[in-house]
């Protein structure tokens, strides 16, 4: 069953994230920190979970650029000290953490009104035993129903090394828009 995410889901979502994104930036932090990250997005985004036998086995989250950015700022603002302390104990992410802090407040003038309203899928993951079962596909289908109420397209970014996700996105109808050094920017046009 796919339903809206709520506060009590956040710990399980953080655990899935920690397990599935351990080679990504946020995945290096504690489950508690990851939970705080997702909580910041809860009220401003499309945020769905898949539940089977009362256990969460996947989630998808995304929304308008302008809302995602506000949530990210809120997360940093509310958790600055916690973020700094956890980062100090992880020297291998110093550079990435520093870059992210600098990027956190883009010049508002550099984001056009059109770009601010573009919809992105920020995060999708299923638990290990839900991979290859169609759960991810169901999450995307439901996410698209909600995106479709506001827009006829949305985008996402994926690491070039994440073959499984890239194959999945191709199958779901995404096309490559831009290739960068280590990531690919993909978009999908919705036909209802
Ligand atoms: C990305 C993700 C949501 C896709 O869900 P999934 O259930 O694994 O996807 P599927 O198994 O339906 O499809 C994956 C495709 O990858 C390929 N694939 C399957 N197993 C694979 C493996 N072990 N390694 C590489 N590719 C594989 C296949 O081409 C498959 O398509 P097919 O079924 O038509 O053959 C899921 O793998 C996941 O949660 N990954 C960890 C988090 C993540 O990377 N999220 C995306 C960040 S951008």
Give the tokens for residue 164: 């499984």
Pocket of ligand 1 from Cβ distances under 6 Å: 20-21, 124-126, 131-132, 136-137, 158, 162-165, 167-168, 171
- pLDDT at 100 exceeding the cut of 90: no
- pLDDT at 109 exceeding the cut of 70: no
**Model confidence over 2-46: pLDDT tens digits?**
999 999 999 999 999 999 998 888 889 999 999 999 999 999 999
pLDDT at 192: 66
pLDDT at 118: 92
**Model confidence over 46-74: pLDDT tens digits?**
999 999 999 999 999 999 999 999 999 99
Q: Indicate which atom in ligand 1 lies nearest the CA of residue 132.
A: 11
Of the two residues 90 and 144, the one the predictor is more confident about is 144
Give the tokens for residue 37: 């990250």
Domain annotation for the chain: domains and CATH numbers: 2-189 (3.40.630.30)
**Model confidence over 134-179: pLDDT tens digits?**
999 999 999 999 999 999 999 999 999 999 999 999 999 999 999 9
pLDDT at 38: 96
pLDDT at 108: 57
- pLDDT at 1 exceeding the cut of 70: yes
Confidence of residue 103 (pLDDT cuts 50, 70, 90): low
pLDDT at 18: 96
Confidence of residue 115 (pLDDT cuts 50, 70, 90): confident
Find out whether 85 and 42 touch, Cβ atoms under 8 Å.
Answer: no
Measured CA distances, 169 to 31, 165, 184, 186, 188 (Å): 27, 6, 11, 8, 9
Q: Indicate which atom in ligand 1 lies nearest the CA of residue 21.
A: 42
CA of 163 from ligand 1 middle (Å) equals 8
User: Which residue of 56, 60, 168 sits with most ligand 1 atoms within 8 Å of its CB, as the best mutation to test the pocket?
Assistant: 168
Longest dimension (CA), the chain: 48
Find out whether 81 and 35 touch, Cβ atoms under 8 Å.
Answer: no
Cα 46 from Cα 80, distance rounded (Å): 25
> Which residues does residue 3 pair with via DSSP β-bridges, in sequence order?
49
Measured CA distances, 139 to 110, 132, 133, 153 (Å): 32, 13, 12, 16
> CB pairs under 8 A, 24+ apart, for 5-13?
5/42, 5/47, 5/48, 5/49, 5/59, 5/61, 6/42, 7/39, 7/42, 9/49, 9/56, 9/59, 10/35, 10/38, 10/39, 10/42, 11/35, 12/55, 12/56, 13/38, 13/49, 13/56, 13/59
């Amino acid at each position: 069953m796919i339903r809206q995410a709520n506060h009590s889901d956040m710990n399980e979502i953080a655990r899935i994230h920690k397990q599935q994104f351990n080679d990504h930036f946020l995945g290096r932090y504690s489950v508690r920190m990851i939970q705080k990250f997702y909580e910041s997005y809860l009220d401003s985004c499309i945020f769905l979970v898949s539940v089977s036998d009362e256990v969460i086995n996947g989630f998808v989250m995304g929304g308008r650029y302008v809302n995602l950015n506000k949530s990210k700022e809120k997360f940093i603002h509310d958790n600055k000290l916690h973020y700094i302390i956890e980062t100090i104990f992880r020297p291998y992410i110093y550079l990435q953490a520093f870059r992210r802090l600098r990027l956190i407040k883009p010049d508002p003038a550099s984001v056009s009104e059109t770009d601010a309203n573009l919809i992105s899928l920020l995060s999708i993951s299923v638990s290990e035993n839900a991979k290859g079962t169609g759960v991810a596909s169901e999450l995307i289908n439901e996410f698209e129903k909600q995106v479709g109420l506001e827009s006829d397209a949305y985008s996402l970014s994926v690491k070039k090394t994440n073959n499984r996700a890239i194959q999945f996105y191709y199958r779901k109808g995404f096309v490559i828009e831009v290739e960068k050094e280590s990531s690919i920017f993909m978009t999908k046009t919705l036909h209802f």
